[in-house]
Structure 1
Amino acid sequence: MDTSEPTKRTRVRAYAPEFKAKVLAECSQPGASIAKVALAHGLNANMIHTWRRDARGAVAPALAGAGEFVPLQLA
């Protein structure tokens, strides 16, 4: 017989890409505070930071070789 406590299930919310884009656009406005935007939408600021990091990551592979050294022959 199992006497352990039942595990509490947490629900992971999925947000529409349009909603994420709207929130990120608000955060990119001059003088905008990520914390204030998060509160206005009932979100945690850490979630918005994750969305920003993910959005930058989508662009980063295109620049993958941009910071590498290239051998240069001097005369």
Structure 2
Amino acid sequence: MNTIFEEGAPSERRRRRRYSEEFKAGVVAACHGSGVSVAAVALEHRLNANLLRRWIDQAEGRLPNGLPGRPADLQPSAAPAFVPITLETRSTHSAEIRIEVRRGDQTVTVSWPISEAVQCAAWLREWLR
């Protein structure tokens, strides 16, 4: 069974189908019965089950009636809102470079001011040769 093309000439392109609000309301109402399968109702009306689920969500107010298939947070808004955020400038890191070398039971610790990081890197490079 070919489900890609509607009845008609095989060279015709599929066109998006439009449904009236009355038709949508009727199909959604058919889904509210006890023990009714949304997929069965969709098949009965030759609809995609996901489309019918979206109509149900829209009818129950869980989805806006805006652009089809787009959640509310993806809908274009009139103007983006600016929310100022206060950042803490306090640093939790110390203002020094600390190098700790362990060899056996001995430990050597070197503390270097962060403002002299370039000199610390040169010293460490020479020391590790």
Pair in the same fold by TM > 0.5: yes
Q: What is the alpha-carbon root mean square deviation over aligned residues?
A: 2.2
Question: How many equivalent pairs are there?
Answer: 52
2:18 to 7, 14, 35: 14
Task: Output the CA distance in 1 between the equivalents of 2:32 and 2:47.
Answer: 16
Deviations 1:24-64 (A, max 9, x none): 01100001000000000111100101101112227x8xxxx
- Match of residue 47 from structure 1: 51
Matched, 1:37 2:44: no
| Greater relative contact order structure (CA < 8 Å, 6+ sep) | 1
Aligned residue for 2:43, secondary structure, equals helix
Letter in 2 for 1:48: L
TM-score by length of 2: 0.36
Gaps spanning 5+ residues in structure 2: where? 1-12, 65-129
Q: Aligned-pair distance for 1:13? A: 1.3
- Find runs of 4+ consecutive structure 1 residues off by over 3 angstroms: none
* Structure with more helix by fraction: 1
Gaps spanning 5+ residues in structure 1: where? 1-8, 61-75
Task: Output the CA distance in 2 between the equivalents of 1:57 and 1:26.
Answer: 17
Q: Aligned-pair distance for 1:10? A: 5.0
TM-score by length of 1: 0.59
